[in-house]
Amino acid sequence: MTIKLRYFAWVRERVGKPEEDIELPAGIATVAELMAWLASRGEEYAHAFANPKVIRAAVDKTHVKPQTAIGAASEIAFFPPMTGG
């Protein structure tokens, strides 16, 4: 299954790209598991996802918790806590 990943703010800067398409590896069922897998993909990713507790996620443009199942998601975004307004 191909999923579009999007990164914002310092997550984007650390990963070094705003978005990418990935093949979801077998056995990755939740957003938290996806973050752990991403952290193992190299130095930039390890740096970006070093502290997954501070990273927020959205599945198909809706806020989700880390334990949320990825299901049939087509887009998953990772970003720091929001600072608009």
Kindly list the residues in this chain that would bind another protein in the complex (CB under 8 A).
6, 8-10, 12, 58, 61-63, 65, 77, 79-85
- Closest separation in Å from C-beta 69 to another protein: 16
For residues 17 and 73, give the distance between their C-alpha atoms in angstroms, rounded to a whole number. Answer: 20
**Nearest residue to 35 via CA among 60, 9, 70:** 70
Q: How far is the CB of 81 from another protein (least distance, A)?
A: 3
Question: Toward another protein, which CB reaches closer, 6 or 47?
Answer: 6
- DSSP-based three-state secondary structure for 11: helix
Cα 66 to Cα 16, 51, 77, distances in angstroms: 22, 13, 12
Minimum Å gap between C-beta 27 and another protein is 27
Q: Which is nearer to another protein, 50 or 82 (CB)?
A: 82
